A and B are shown apart, each in its own frame.
Chain A
Amino acid sequence: MIFKTLQVFILATVPIFCFSQESEKEIGRNIVSLYLGAAKLHENKELQIYVNSLGAYLARVADASEPYDWQFGVMSDDGINAFAAPGGYILITKGLFDLLETEDELAFVLSHEINHVIKRHHIQVIENQERMAGVILEMQENLITENTLLPNMNSLFKDLALKGLDKNAEYESDLAGLELSVKAGYSSSAAFDVLFRFLGAQESITEELFFKTHPAPSERIDVLSQHITVEYEPLEGYSNNSKRILDYK
């Protein structure tokens, strides 16, 4: 009894379960198929190509081609939201796209989501949860494989969407989003443009799921202000094709 208790304790406290890169992509695809089951892709193919192309460019600037299958899309949802899934799959809602006024702002939003993927924020949440589930399976069947768990994770994926990530993951991604989008040639003001726009939107639609799963926009603005360096101040200028986004509205 004591030996078994110790075995449980040891197994629960060491990282016993890490997904392979291919499994992370499969997890990501599963998550995307769920989100798209809730709200389909927007019918505007040109819009999809535009967002996907900008995302691909930003991923290239981030020097993050491997091991991800970068793919970006727009869901036909009038609300404000964005989802990043392991493996490099990113969705934003039409409502969020319509909120944005410049390509610089879109670049910031996509860069924020790219950071969630690169830093494996969602995978870390999943792995932490699977640690206990893995222990239970280990004890019951003395066998655990990725194939055993993946088909049973839909409720876990939905949980992720409803609870959101740790607040620091969001703040960190704001900073990384600012950094990547500016490196890619976009305005350092765009991050503030987006967050102040969220602040204004929140006053009208306080019940939006997006605002329940993210830190308050005012907090995000303050954290960004706290970290931004003087290096960014002369980089306020908007990109040459800043207003191109209006062609897709």
Chain B
Amino acid sequence: MYRLSLLASLILVSSLSAQGQNSAILLTESPLLNGPKQNSQVVGLVPQQSQVDVKMRKGLWANIEFEGADGWVKVTSLRFSSSNQTSTNLSNLNTGRSGAGNGVAVTGVRGLDAEEISLAEPSQSELESFLSTNISADLMASFETNERVELNPIQFQSQNFETSQSRSEEKKDLDKISRKDRQRRQIEDDF
């Protein structure tokens, strides 16, 4: 019986590992709360730079697990784009406020691709239809009932992410610079 239980435990552990955990890095030391609200009870403290397992998200709060402790921290205290990220299974974090886990079925759907855009011809008739779309007075009146707020402007700091995408963009820039250099040399040669 003991041997069977051990085998069952091993199978259970391996299946959890196969599922993969959503991981993120906690940027600053954060209290672990027992609910997704600022005034929730503190149930622990998570050190800065800890790698945590992220189970779900509700609005600006994330439910995490760290060294056996379960609780909530602010989403904004987490970093998701790490080169050490071993799991990309973060789709369950798009649950928004409801937490209902409503996934979006987009598998296999593809939109306009590069070739279709390259071959596109202008459509004057579609442009005219687009430009002639009206606005609804009723909707505009309804928008005006929104609770508008005044906010301090956010000061943007330019980023320099080192990712494969940025490296591929750097290559494109270098190619562009090479083409411009060749054009400049051509002009100089012509004159």
**Residues of chain A at the chain B interface (Cβ within 8 Å):** 1, 4-5, 8, 12, 29-30, 32-41, 45, 48-50, 52-54, 56-57, 61, 69, 71-73, 77-81, 89, 91, 93, 95, 99, 101-102, 132, 135-136, 139, 154, 158, 161-163, 167-168, 171-172, 175-176, 178-179, 182-189, 192-193, 196-197, 199-201, 203-205, 207-210, 215-216, 218-219, 221-229, 231-233, 235-236, 238-241
A53 / chain B contacts, CB cutoff of 8 Å: 135-136, 139-140, 143
B88-116 vs A: 1/0 string, CB under 8 Å? 11111110110000111011111111101
3 cross-chain pairs, A with B, having the tightest CB-CB distances, nearest first: A79-B111, A185-B146, A200-B91
B1 / chain A contacts, CB cutoff of 8 Å: none
Q: Does B118 contact A (CB under 8 A)?
A: yes
Residue contact A186 to B146, C-beta cutoff 8 Å: yes
A81 / chain B contacts, CB cutoff of 8 Å: 111-112
Residue contact B97 to A225, C-beta cutoff 8 Å: no
Residue contact B126 to A33, C-beta cutoff 8 Å: yes
19 pairs of residues in contact across A and B, judged by CB atoms under 8 Å? A4-B188, A29-B127, A32-B127, A33-B123, A36-B126, A49-B133, A61-B148, A73-B133, A136-B187, A162-B114, A168-B156, A185-B147, A200-B91, A200-B103, A204-B107, A205-B107, A218-B80, A233-B38, A238-B97
Q: In the bound complex, how far is the Cα of B79 from the Cα of A219, in angstroms?
A: 9
Residue contact B91 to A231, C-beta cutoff 8 Å: no
Q: In the bound complex, how far is the Cα of B74 from the Cα of A12, in angstroms?
A: 49
B80 / chain A contacts, CB cutoff of 8 Å: 199, 218, 221-222
Q: Does B154 contact A (CB under 8 A)?
A: yes
Q: In the bound complex, how far is the Cα of B97 from the Cα of A88, in angstroms?
A: 32
B74 / chain A contacts, CB cutoff of 8 Å: 233
Residue contact B139 to A77, C-beta cutoff 8 Å: no
**B186 (CB) vs chain A CBs: closest residue:** A136
Nearest Cβ in chain A — how far from B38, in angstroms? 7
Q: In the bound complex, how far is the Cα of B148 from the Cα of A74, in angstroms?
A: 26
Residue contact A54 to B117, C-beta cutoff 8 Å: no
Residue contact B187 to A139, C-beta cutoff 8 Å: yes
Q: Does B59 contact A (CB under 8 A)?
A: yes
Q: A216 with B81: in contact, given A136-B183, A183-B148, A228-B76 (CB under 8 Å)?
A: yes
Q: Does B5 contact A (CB under 8 A)?
A: no
Residue contact B111 to A41, C-beta cutoff 8 Å: no
B:115-145 near A, CB below 8 Å? 116-124, 126-127, 129-131, 133-136, 139-140, 142-145
A209 / chain B contacts, CB cutoff of 8 Å: 111-114, 117
Residue contact A39 to B159, C-beta cutoff 8 Å: no
Residue contact A189 to B130, C-beta cutoff 8 Å: no
Residue contact A193 to B166, C-beta cutoff 8 Å: no
Q: In the bound complex, how far is the Cα of B72 from the Cα of A213, in angstroms?
A: 33
14 new A-B contacts, CB < 8 A, other than A36-B126, A240-B145, are A32-B127, A34-B122, A54-B143, A78-B110, A136-B187, A139-B191, A158-B118, A162-B117, A163-B172, A189-B97, A196-B93, A205-B106, A209-B113, A228-B154
Q: In the bound complex, how far is the Cα of B80 from the Cα of A228, in angstroms?
A: 16
